[in-house]
Amino acid sequence: MSSTVFAASTGLDFPLAQQLTVVALCALTAFLSHLALAVFNDGVRPFMLDFVQGRTTRSATTAVSFGLSAGFIFGLGAPMALSSGVLNPWLLFLPTDVLGILAPKKWLAPLLGGAWGAVVVFGLDGANDLAHDLPVDFLTAMQQMATPILFLFTLFPVLAITRQFGRLRGALAGGVELALVVLTMKLWPEVFAGAPAMAVGVLLLIGFAVAKDVRQRRRERVAAGAVMSAQGQASADPSAGKGQAPSDPDAGEEQTPADPGAGKGQAPGGSVAGKGQASGGPGAGGVPGEVDPMVSLFGSSAARLRRHLPLFMVLGAGVCLLAQLHVFGGGEATSFLIAKGQYAEAAQVDFYRALGFIPLIATTALASGAYGIVGFTLVYPVGYLLPSPWPAMACGALIFAGEVLALSWIGKVLGGLPSVRDSSEHLRAAIGDTLQLAILFGSLLAAEAMGGGLGILIAGGLYLLNEAVGRVVVRMAAAPAAVVVTGIILNLLHWLHLFTPVKS
């Protein structure tokens, strides 16, 4: 294995080739952000349409991007990188979102992005060494976060199944996952125990969703067949309508003058509805040839992204290369798996995460005309598993090309699979909930490791204070940020001879 297996213990001292890769990729992502072609923050992407169409200013969009990103950069990205020794997208790509939008000139955006990449690869190593030399080594303590994150993350399919399909199926999935974790720990101790459990959980979720959609389509076909059969019987018995006329002589006369267009519209199978549907878009109204504005918007956004396909292919090559170098992890759990050298397990975890984010990224990209900096994140698992940089670059370019070209088709497919689309929403929410608990629990373990009860008091108090004042720092980033601040406070107390570091 490469030396990056021991990244958590050796710090963030990367070879020159890896440093240059990070700098170049940060420059490229800032340039794409400046052009409003791609951003990493999913919350910023919906605002990019107004920016592209000139309805909002560059400074206003920068303020939105910074406001939605700052907490994740300093509260999650930096602490996770320092504690695991592995870079992450919050640290690299959220700042380049902000810097790219901020830059008033095209040539300035890549310079600012590259400068941030240089700060990361050259500055973090110094900060890492300084932190490890402190009497209270809070970075080493933060490695306590790894176990809660890795094992609680295993439960996100169970949570998603319970929310979408009820407690019975959720309990079934939970029992299956628990049995697989125990079995894996007993029979294959060298394998991350949560990997097989997550695989089965996600397969169960997708299976339940597909089965629900199939049943719904079958019911719709049966209902449509019954309607057509009833219409066929009515047309085959012309006396049915005549027989009703004498029993209520006013019935037929009332319908004709009350809505002259009603009978005409229904006679050929609904001429108004038919024209609206013939125009090719839902909600197209009743005017022939009228184009659904959402379909038009999605089509123009997809075309805009396709025009810049070469840039996206370069981006895909760069992201996949960074993943292949094993100095980068796409998520919280992945960072610690990469640090341990468990690349296959890391690939599996990030693949499952992608399933939850593909619908979000696809729909926001089609609506705003701005793609994700890391695409559908499928380049992550591919990069982790490839043996050398050149295949990684080629595969990354091809993956991004396929994603951009298939964007419109993916949007249509998702529209036809409502339960699968809902599953992705539940997956994403479940990932957030499980990681939120895992990070909070792991942060308290880290605080206890470096300061005992006093550490828990300070870190937990800072977290609760953040909640009380309205979450100045986003909840997921608040706990790691509290641990860093706790470490600084404990070191100050030590220098004042008011605290003795806990012996490990």
- Extract the tokens encoding 390: 């050149």
Does 308 map to a domain? yes
For the chain, the distance separating the N- and C-terminal CA atoms, rounded to the nearest angstrom, is 29
Encode 412-430: b = buried (16+ Cβ within 10 Å), e = exposed: eebeebebbbbbbebbbeb
The Cα 46–Cα 39 span in angstroms is 10
Cβ burial, residue 176 (10 Å; 0-12/13-18/19+): middle
Residue 371 parent element (H or E): strand 371-372
Does 7 map to a domain? no
Q: Give pLDDT, residue 276.
A: 38
What is the largest distance, in Å, between two alpha-carbon atoms of the chain? 105
Q: Which domain holds residue 45?
A: 16-210+295-496
Q: Give pLDDT, residue 480.
A: 93
| Pair 460, 444: CB distance under 8 Å | yes
The predicted-structure confidence for 433-485, as pLDDT tens digits, reads as follows 999 999 999 999 999 999 999 999 999 999 999 999 998 898 889 999 999 99
Does 285 map to a domain? no
* pTM, full prediction: 0.80
Does 4 map to a domain? no
The Cα 198–Cα 483 span in angstroms is 29
Closest C-alpha among 205, 196, 174, 439 to residue 331: 439
- DSSP characters for 271-327? HHHHHHHHTTSTT-TTSTTPPPHHHHHHHHHHHHHHHTHHHHHHHHHHHHHHHHTTS
Does 452 map to a domain? yes
Closest C-alpha among 222, 175, 223 to residue 200: 175
Amino acid at 42: D
The Cα 218–Cα 224 span in angstroms is 10
When divided into structural domains, the chain yields a total of 1
- DSSP characters for 249-261? HHHHHHHHHH-HH
Does 249 map to a domain? no
8: CB partners within 8 A, 6+ apart: 83, 84, 85, 86, 143, 336, 339
- Extract the tokens encoding 297: 């918007």
Residue 289: how many other CB atoms lie within 10 Å: 9
Query: pLDDT 10s digit of each residue in the chain, 504 long?
Result: 333 334 444 467 789 999 999 999 999 999 999 999 999 998 898 888 888 888 889 999 999 999 999 989 988 999 999 888 899 999 999 999 999 999 999 999 999 999 999 999 998 888 888 888 889 988 889 889 998 999 999 999 999 999 999 999 999 999 999 999 999 999 988 888 888 899 899 999 989 988 888 888 888 888 877 778 777 777 666 555 454 444 444 444 444 444 434 434 443 333 333 333 333 333 344 444 444 455 555 778 889 999 999 999 999 999 999 999 999 999 888 999 999 899 999 999 999 888 888 888 888 888 888 999 999 999 999 999 999 999 999 999 999 999 999 998 888 887 777 888 888 889 889 998 999 999 999 999 999 999 999 999 999 999 999 999 998 898 889 999 999 999 999 999 999 999 988 765
Does 72 map to a domain? yes
**3-class SS at 484?**
helix
Ramachandran angles phi, psi of 15, nearest 5°? -60, 165
Residue 464: how many other CB atoms lie within 10 Å: 12
Q: List beta partners, residue 328.
A: 87
Q: What is the DSSP letter of 6?
A: G
The predicted-structure confidence for 69-101, as pLDDT tens digits, reads as follows 998 998 899 999 988 889 999 999 999 999 999
Residue 246: how many other CB atoms lie within 10 Å: 7
| Pair 206, 420: CB distance under 8 Å | yes
The Cα 327–Cα 383 span in angstroms is 11
Q: Give pLDDT, residue 123.
A: 87
Supply angle C-alpha 112, 113, 115, rounded to 5.
Answer: 65
Does 257 map to a domain? no
